[in-house]
């Protein structure tokens, strides 16, 4: 039967994050608390592609990695472009983008790995971070995906799950804090595109990205009960950075997902 995944709040040294764990895979979704950055990046800004001082961001990353227990030098950071390109990463990629912008895995919105202890990263502040866990031939495997509305329409979530499903058995997935159906207002043209691609996902002038992600995960083979939607809206909940609410001038969260030691 299904593996049991748990979602819970954790905190350490002034940082707090939503933890998702099960089947040898873990993910951490931080709030903005506990960092050193000044407004408007206050305070745990983990994104280097902002106007914040890189030294602040690196200190924040150091703190967050220490709190969740993933070595900073083992992060793998994608250079996200709102696309649907995925990459399998392993030991060779450990540390790419962890300390600078130049060495990120360019032009990718989803990373997959079977390597233990490698921290796959999704940078987000309204976009939807999704982590998928599977059992492969040699143990747990996972995907960490960045899906804004473009990536969602392009099917990046489903493609990541399908890539895992081709090698093993899908076990569970979590949709992290991101802009909710309460706040994601769209124009008529975009509403219509979503309604066509994900029937029923659009309200009168809003779209439920969480439901879209869940839909594609289920289409890839996950049972509905194995898909957990954290139901935390970054725009309406001030514990999070929100690109829309803060009109672009804000920090970034890094969701980190990893295979626990075998």
What are residue 148's phi and psi, to 5 degrees? -85, -165
Nearer to other proteins, 48 or 227 (CB): 227
Nearer to other proteins, 20 or 99 (CB): 20
The residue count for binding other proteins (CB under 8 A) is 20
Is 219 a residue that touches other proteins (CB under 8 A)? no
Q: How far is the CB of 97 from other proteins (least distance, A)?
A: 29
Taking CB under 8 A as the binding criterion, the range among 2-10, 59-67, 87-95, 251-259 that sits at the site for other proteins is 2-10
Map the footprint of other proteins across residues 150-189, applying CB under 8 A.
182
Among 92, 137, 189, 204, contact with other proteins (rule: CB under 8 A): 204
The 3 state secondary structure assigned to the chain is CCCCCEEEEEEECCEEEEEEEECCEEEEEECCCCCCCCCCCCCCCCCCCCCCCHHHHHHHHHHHHHHHCCCHHHEECEECCCCCCEEEECHHHCCCCCCCCCCCEECCCEEEECCECCEEEEEECCCEEEEEEEEECCEEEEEEEEECHHHHHHCHHHHHHHHHHHHCEEEEEEECCECCCCCCECCHHHHHHHHHHCCCCECCCEECHHHHHHHHHHHCCCCHHHEEECCCECCCCCCCCCCCCCCCCCCCEEEEEEECCC
Among 210, 240, 241, 258, contact with other proteins (rule: CB under 8 A): 210
Encoded one letter per residue, x for contact with other proteins by CB under 8 A and - for no contact, window 37-66 reads: ------------------------------
Is 205 a residue that touches other proteins (CB under 8 A)? yes
Is 228 a residue that touches other proteins (CB under 8 A)? yes
Q: How far is the CB of 123 from other proteins (least distance, A)?
A: 22
Q: How far is the CB of 173 from other proteins (least distance, A)?
A: 11
Is 225 a residue that touches other proteins (CB under 8 A)? yes
Give the footprint of other proteins on this chain (CB under 8 A): 6-9, 18, 182, 203-206, 210, 224-225, 227-232, 239
């Amino acid at each position: 039967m299904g593996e049991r995944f748990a979602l819970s709040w954790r905190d350490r040294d002034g940082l707090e994050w939503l933890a998702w764990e099960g089947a040898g895979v873990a993910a951490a979704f931080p709030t903005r608390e506990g960092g050193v950055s000044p407004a408007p990046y206050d305070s745990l800004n983990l994104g280097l592609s902002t106007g914040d001082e890189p030294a602040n961001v690196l200190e924040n990353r150091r703190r967050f990695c220490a709190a969740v227990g993933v070595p900073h030098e083992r992060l793998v950071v994608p250079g996200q472009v709102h696309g649907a390109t995925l990459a399998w990463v392993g030991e060779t990629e450990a540390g790419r983008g962890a300390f600078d912008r130049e060495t990120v895995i360019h032009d990718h919105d989803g990373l997959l790995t079977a390597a233990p202890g490698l921290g796959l990263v999704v940078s987000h502040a309204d976009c939807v971070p999704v982590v998928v866990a599977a059992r492969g031939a040699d143990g747990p495997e996972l995907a960490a995906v960045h899906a804004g509305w473009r990536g969602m329409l392009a099917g990046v979530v489903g493609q990541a799950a399908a890539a895992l499903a081709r090698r093993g058995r899908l076990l569970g997935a979590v949709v992290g804090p991101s802009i909710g159906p309460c706040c994601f207002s769209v124009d008529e043209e975009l509403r219509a595109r979503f309604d066509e691609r994900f029937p029923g996902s659009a309200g009168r002038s809003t779209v439920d990205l969480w439901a879209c992600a869940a839909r594609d995960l289920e289409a890839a083979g996950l049972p509905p009960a194995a898909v957990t939607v954290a139901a935390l809206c970054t725009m309406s909940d001030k514990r999070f950075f929100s690109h829309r609410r803060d009109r672009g001038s804000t920090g970034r969260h890094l969701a980190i997902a990893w295979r626990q030691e075998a």
